[in-house]
Amino acid sequence: MPPRGRPRAAAAEFDSEVLPERPSPSSLDEREPPPPFFNTTFSTHRASPLYVGANTLSFPRLQALSQRLRDTLVGDVVRGVQVGLEGSDSSLGRAGPLEKVGIRWVGVEALLGGADDTDPDLSRDLTSDGVETDETVRKKRCLVFEMRYENALCTAVLLPSLSEKITEEPTAELQSANSLGVPGLLTSSGTKDDRHFLHLPLLLLRMPAPLKSVIVDFLSSTFDCRISSLRLGTKGLTTAWERWIEDAGLPSQGPLAKDMILTLGFYIPPAVTSDGTDEQPPDGLGIKSIDIVIPAEELKRFTKEGMTLTNPTIINKAGLTQGYQEDPRKRKKLAGGKADEGWGWFDRQGEHDEAFLHALGAYLEKHLALNLFHPGVRVTKIACGGFVLSEGRVKVFVPPGDDEEVFEPVKNLISDLIASANS
């Protein structure tokens, strides 16, 4: 008779007595550098809070998790079921044999191009000295999964919120799980159960699709969490671009002085038959997307013109006669029922917060007779000198400036992505 399975909630619990006694890296020379982040395309996902139990994700515990993940990837037989990946995808075959699997904490600043975390031991309790400094509070760390094959490196990065502050209030009743000072982990100010969860809302994956499903299943079963795709809509993409203009400006020289490419997509509601059911028409010829390329030297001009538009509502005057302008339900239907689409959130009262979009909308209306702000028009991709952002992917280019300092626009971009995943 097979043994009874353990409850799922207990899957994240580990007996500290059976963990391997391996010392954590104690010097910067022994540590591996952060995984590649810039010039790398990641798929974006959101993660619910991870259940870690009463004990922290210390170095020995991460080593045990790494071994468990490796056993899954190399194809060990578990209760008579083969769980390996060999032969499931040609891309994995080209990657070669699996050489190393690692799970570790990495400083967020180091990941984003700043200085390495100078703490001598990433698994050490940051408050063990009894003194909490501003530097300790500001430290942010992400959880990194690395699968190194002979010809490829696959990574998964779980990022915390970059805007919250970490506070520690140790209590005698319960030892907080946040002994690492890891951001996102609820501290002792919360309830007893809340302190057993780790909040790392944004998951970035760089790996083939079959391996993604394995990592998602591993996270879900190990930490009793839910992983889902994070697909940014028009609102998220355009807000990121306007924020980038505000933070980084529009330089005429340097690595950021590149053409801006904005991709538009279109949603056409299905036709309704006489009996009231939706009729799905066959796929026919038509425009599925439009790439709008704006030269780098013209970007400032668009922003300047957008600020001088005294009455941006004239851009949408055609919409006033179509019945959707003041009807949220009709607008949502024309947008495909997605909250991030339809332009219902867009400001048309003459404010300059979206100056670039105001100017672009006026240009398209005049030269292409295209109403950018129609609910059926969507922004599906934005590419510029700093980043490429689409519905489910992000790529950040190497920023200019000092190698020891995080480029603030990059930090704000990632922070906004994390906020979107946390919403």
**pLDDT tens per residue across span 112-125:** 988 776 664 455 43
Model confidence over 266-305: pLDDT tens digits? Answer: 988 776 665 556 555 555 657 889 999 999 999 999 998 8
- Which sign does the torsion angle of CA 302, 306, 308, 313 carry? positive
Q: How much is the pLDDT for 279? A: 57
Helix (H, G, I), strand (E, B) or coil at 60: helix
Rounded to whole angstroms, the Cα distance separating 59 from 19 reads 10
| Bridge partners for 345 per DSSP | none
271-276: Cβ within 8 A, 24+ apart: none
In this predicted structure, the answer to whether residue 378 has a pLDDT above a threshold of 80 is yes
Model confidence over 331-360: pLDDT tens digits? Answer: 888 888 887 787 877 755 544 468 899 899
* The residue type at 296: A
Q: How is the chain split into domains, by residue range?
A: 8-229, 234-391
Task: Give 276's contacts (C-beta < 8 A, 6+ positions apart).
Answer: none
Q: What is the mean pLDDT of residues 376-395?
A: 95
Cβ neighbours of 5 (radius 10 Å):
9
Q: How much is the pLDDT for 338? A: 82
Q: What are the tokens at 238?
A: 């355009």
Model confidence over 93-114: pLDDT tens digits? Answer: 787 888 999 999 999 999 998 8
Binned at pLDDT 50, 70 and 90, residue 324 comes out as confident
pTM metric for this prediction: 0.79
In this predicted structure, the answer to whether residue 181 has a pLDDT above a threshold of 90 is no
Average pLDDT, the chain: 77
Task: Give 411's contacts (C-beta < 8 A, 6+ positions apart).
Answer: 112, 162
